[in-house]
């Protein structure tokens, strides 16, 4: 049976020592945030994750959700409902929500730590409140006062849940293809008709009501074609006044590879009553509020799964005795497998990834808090630019890693990792979806290079910060062996980007758009290269703090912690960072190699070749 223990030491290290999150108390809304509060909160959440949610993870996977074709109701796995009640009673559905609507008003960075623990403990469960929080955010930013007063208190208390309804059978990545239509009613509301598929938490038994945020096209002569004609609507399962059943039902739930405890629903809207959120035809803008938060959230799902896989892989490697050490064969008894270099490669690979990701996730979340609440406008703007640039990195890199890390952890278990009883294969199955939803990782790469780097030119601001951090770390005595690989690869990233920007500039002037094709062709290699540099930067930040802490001569476990941190940073620079060479090499290979074969020449044909 797998186990999970929240990594509180590492969380406190990042939150309190590297980031000094208590600094947020300078912002009036966060005056209650201090170190004891943070630590107490972490411990409370850890208890719930370890004792309430984790025990339901394997049973939820086995049991899954069930759909009643007659009543269209969906039942979540045994125990989910009770756990959800406890979750609500602890105020966690409104943890980072506006106190005006009943929320606790805590910073997003602490909510991130909470999400990480819940994703480690039980991803399927965590998705239910996670989606509600996305709906809360979209309504909080774009809803009318009436909508806010109607929906937000119930979403915050957890009595009602939220969903995000974008996908249709013919339309996934390209939302311009949406067919769901909205026809205006005499009372100003809309009748929504269409079928949405793959809707997470679309129907379930955890809450009194479910509020669907639905993308649809208004049937009107002035509705622009494609993506510009999309509007956002709130469509509740039960109408707020009188709670009559709205015309929205769950047609079926999907059988799928993982996250069995979370219902994935086909939702049928048959003239369901809905209300416009934000302006007509500006639905994508409002939906992006939800999607950006959801992308960070999916990144955290990846981090959470990598962490739990790491813990179990490590425990196994510390216990499993197999083979003598490679240099002492014949003279030595078999040892625990953690002693074999290749097992260490797997274990340290996960450890270095997870700790680097945690640092990035918490740092970005802190930037998100600053971008929303700092009284200084310049600070808000700067922080927002970091968040915008790095959101696709968090989504894509963490989730690519989650699939790889959960796979590595299976490898550590040998054949036992393939056997259900050990629980390792569930982590891998659950991880696979994270590369797909909230915009596939390919789309994250396009967003990064096309929008964030080429259009908005956000990279230089980030690289300036990276260089400042490298200089500060050098001053504090951090080894050059940790600084040089980051500086060098940041230079490679800068060179590649500059070249592309120059091509983009001339291409735009001369109306030759082939640079777009090249940017698209390199986008995945680009985000992978940049991710390694960014995580390298995070390792420098952590090594800097650990070096300073060691200078004060701590003893025992605390000393071990900082020393291990610095050694892990060395592992990252020596064994992970070199992967950047492969990505920069592939980028240098250009796009023609991808596009030269005509689409109709891929399939096997019946020729006489080799006859």
Ligand X SMILES: Cc1cc2nc3c(=O)[nH]c(=O)nc-3n(C[C@H](O)[C@H](O)[C@H](O)COP(=O)(O)OP(=O)(O)OC[C@H]3O[C@@H](n4cnc5c(N)ncnc54)[C@H](O)[C@@H]3O)c2cc1C
So which residues are the catalytic ones? Answer: 438
* Dist CA 474 CA 582 (whole Å): 28
* Dist CA 12 CA 4 (whole Å): 17
Q: Are the beta carbons of 251 and 267 closer than 8 angstroms?
A: yes
Selected from 21, 385, 403, 433, the binder of ligand X by CB under 6 A is 433
* Dist CA 190 CA 196 (whole Å): 17
* Dist CA 89 CA 151 (whole Å): 18
Question: Residue 187, exposed/middle/buried by CB under 10 A (0-12, 13-18, 19+)?
Answer: exposed
Q: Is the dihedral of CA 52, 58, 61, 64 positive or negative?
A: negative
Q: With respect to ligand X, which residue has the nearer C-beta, 424 or 519? A: 519
Q: Which two tokens stand for residue 517?
A: 């094709």
Query: By CB under 6 A, how many residues form the interface with ligand X?
Result: 19
Within residues 250-269, the interface with ligand X by CB under 6 A covers 256, 264
Q: With respect to ligand X, which residue has the nearer C-beta, 202 or 536? A: 202
Within residues 316-375, the interface with ligand X by CB under 6 A covers none
Q: With respect to ligand X, which residue has the nearer C-beta, 76 or 264? A: 264
CB of 166 to ligand X, least distance (A): 3
Q: Are the beta carbons of 138 and 289 closer than 8 angstroms?
A: yes
Interface segment toward ligand X; rule CB under 6 A; list 34-42, 196-204, 474-482, 542-550: 196-204
CB of 518 to ligand X, least distance (A): 14
Query: Of how many residues is the chain composed?
Result: 611
CB of 121 to ligand X, least distance (A): 19
Q: Does 426 bind ligand X (CB under 6 A)?
A: no
DSSP 224: P
Within residues 197-216, the interface with ligand X by CB under 6 A covers 198-200
- Per the DSSP assignment, residues forming a β-bridge with 74 are 67
* Dist CA 111 CA 465 (whole Å): 25
CA distances from 263 to 58, 117, 206, 250, 435 (A): 16, 21, 11, 10, 18
Interface segment toward ligand X; rule CB under 6 A; list 244-252, 442-450, 460-468, 507-515: 442-450
Q: With respect to ligand X, which residue has the nearer C-beta, 431 or 486? A: 431
Q: With respect to ligand X, which residue has the nearer C-beta, 301 or 408? A: 301
Q: With respect to ligand X, which residue has the nearer C-beta, 443 or 494? A: 443
Q: With respect to ligand X, which residue has the nearer C-beta, 164 or 487? A: 164
Interface segment toward ligand X; rule CB under 6 A; list 70-78, 398-406, 434-442, 511-519: 434-442
Selected from 442, 450, 507, 554, the binder of ligand X by CB under 6 A is 442
Within residues 23-42, the interface with ligand X by CB under 6 A covers none
Q: Which two tokens stand for residue 192?
A: 């929504």
Within residues 445-464, the interface with ligand X by CB under 6 A covers 446
Q: With respect to ligand X, which residue has the nearer C-beta, 168 or 544? A: 168
Interface segment toward ligand X; rule CB under 6 A; list 109-117, 431-439, 549-557, 589-597: 431-439
Q: Are the beta carbons of 423 and 313 closer than 8 angstroms?
A: no
Within residues 125-184, the interface with ligand X by CB under 6 A covers 164-167, 172-173
Q: Is the dihedral of CA 77, 81, 84, 86 positive or negative?
A: negative
Interface segment toward ligand X; rule CB under 6 A; list 1-9, 232-240, 437-445, 555-563: 437-445
* Dist CA 61 CA 122 (whole Å): 10
Q: Are the beta carbons of 139 and 234 closer than 8 angstroms?
A: yes
**Tokens 């990064």 sit on residue:** 448
CB of 455 to ligand X, least distance (A): 16
DSSP SS3 for 79: coil
* Nearest-5° Cα angle at 137, 299 to 187: 140
Question: Residue 603, exposed/middle/buried by CB under 10 A (0-12, 13-18, 19+)?
Answer: exposed
Q: Which two tokens stand for residue 284?
A: 């994508």
* Dist CA 57 CA 76 (whole Å): 12
Please enumerate in sequence order all residues whose Cβ is within 8 A of that of 299, keeping only pairs 6 or more positions apart, or say none: 357, 361, 394, 395, 397, 398, 399
CB of 289 to ligand X, least distance (A): 15
Selected from 27, 443, 463, 586, the binder of ligand X by CB under 6 A is 443
CB of 133 to ligand X, least distance (A): 13
CB of 564 to ligand X, least distance (A): 37
Interface segment toward ligand X; rule CB under 6 A; list 435-443, 447-455, 531-539, 599-607: 435-443
Interface segment toward ligand X; rule CB under 6 A; list 91-99, 389-397, 440-448, 598-606: 440-448
CB closest to ligand X, residue no = 172
CB of 67 to ligand X, least distance (A): 15
Q: With respect to ligand X, which residue has the nearer C-beta, 264 or 405? A: 264
CB of 215 to ligand X, least distance (A): 8
Instruction: Convert 515-533 into a string of H (helix), E (strand) and C (coil).
Output: HHHHHHHHHHHHHHHHHHH
CB of 201 to ligand X, least distance (A): 7
* Dist CA 377 CA 375 (whole Å): 6
Rounded to a whole number of angstroms, the distance between the first and last alpha carbons of the chain is 55
Between 108-142 and 341-373, two packed helices, what is the crossing angle to 10 degrees?
Answer: 50
Selected from 87, 233, 316, 437, the binder of ligand X by CB under 6 A is 437
Q: With respect to ligand X, which residue has the nearer C-beta, 30 or 198? A: 198
Chain residues binding ligand X by CB under 6 A are: 164-167, 172-173, 198-200, 256, 264, 433, 436-437, 439-440, 442-443, 446
């Amino acid at each position: 049976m797998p186990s999970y223990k929240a990594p509180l030491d590492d969380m406190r290290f990042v939150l309190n020592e590297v980031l000094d999150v208590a600094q947020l108390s300078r912002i009036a809304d966060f005056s209650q945030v201090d170190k004891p509060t943070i630590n107490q909160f972490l411990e409370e959440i850890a208890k719930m994750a370890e004792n309430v949610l984790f025990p339901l993870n394997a049973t939820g996977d086995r049991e899954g959700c069930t759909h009643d074709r007659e009543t269209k109701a969906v039942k979540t796995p045994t125990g989910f409902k009770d756990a959800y009640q406890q979750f609500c009673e602890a105020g966690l559905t409104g943890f980072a929500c506006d106190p005006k609507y009943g929320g606790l008003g805590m910073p997003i960075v602490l909510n991130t730590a909470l999400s990480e623990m819940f994703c480690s403990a039980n991803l399927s469960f965590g998705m239910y409140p996670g989606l509600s929080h996305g709906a809360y955010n979209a309504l909080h930013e774009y809803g009318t006062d009436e909508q806010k007063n109607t929906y937000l208190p119930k979403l915050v208390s957890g009595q009602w849940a939220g969903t995000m309804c974008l996908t249709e059978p013919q339309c996934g990545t390209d939302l311009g293809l949406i067919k769901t239509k909205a026809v205006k009613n005499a009372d100003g509301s809309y009748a929504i008709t269409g079928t949405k598929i793959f809707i997470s938490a679309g129907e379930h038994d955890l809450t009194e009501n479910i509020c669907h945020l639905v993308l649809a096209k208004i049937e009107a002569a002035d509705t622009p074609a494609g993506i510009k004609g999309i509007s956002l609507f709130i469509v509740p399962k039960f109408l707020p006044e009188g709670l009559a059943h709205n015309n929205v039902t769950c047609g079926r739930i999907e059988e799928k590879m993982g996250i069995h405890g979370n219902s994935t629903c086909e939702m049928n809207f048959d003239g369901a009553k809905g209300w416009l959120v934000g302006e007509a035809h500006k639905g994508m803008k409002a939906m992006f509020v939800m999607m950006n938060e959801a992308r960070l959230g999916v990144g955290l799902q990846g981090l959470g799964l990598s962490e739990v896989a790491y813990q179990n892989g490590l425990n196994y490697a510390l216990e499993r005795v197999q083979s003598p050490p490679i240099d002492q064969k014949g003279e030595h008894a078999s040892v625990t497998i953690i002693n074999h270099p290749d097992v260490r490669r797997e274990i340290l690979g996960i450890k270095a990834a997870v700790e680097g990701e945690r640092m990035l996730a918490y740092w970005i979340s802190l930037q998100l808090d600053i971008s929303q609440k700092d009284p200084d406008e310049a600070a808000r703007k700067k922080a927002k630019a970091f968040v915008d640039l790095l959101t696709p990195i968090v989504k894509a890199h963490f989730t690519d890693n989650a699939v790889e890390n959960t796979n590595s952890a299976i490898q550590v278990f040998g054949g036992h990792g393939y056997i259900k009883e050990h629980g390792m294969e569930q982590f891998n199955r659950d991880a696979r979806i994270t590369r797909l939803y909230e915009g596939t990782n390919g789309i994250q790469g396009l967003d990064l290079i096309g929008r964030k780097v080429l259009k908005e030119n956000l990279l230089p601001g980030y690289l300036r910060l990276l260089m400042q951090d490298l200089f500060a770390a050098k001053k504090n005595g951090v080894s050059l062996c940790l600084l040089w690989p980051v500086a060098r690869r940041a230079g490679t990233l800068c060179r590649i980007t500059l070249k592309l920007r120059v091509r983009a500039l001339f291409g735009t002037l001369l109306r030759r758009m082939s640079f777009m094709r090249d940017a698209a062709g390199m986008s995945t290699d680009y985000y992978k290269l940049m991710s390694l540099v960014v995580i390298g930067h995070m390792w420098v930040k952590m090594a800097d703090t650990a070096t300073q802490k060691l200078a004060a001569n701590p003893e025992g476990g605390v000393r071990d912690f900082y020393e291990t941190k610095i050694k892990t940073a060395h592992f990252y620079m020596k064994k992970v960072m070199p992967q950047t060479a492969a990505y920069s090499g592939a980028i240098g290979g250009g796009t023609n190699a991808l596009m030269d074969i005509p689409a109709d020449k891929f399939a096997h044909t019946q020729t006489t070749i080799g006859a």
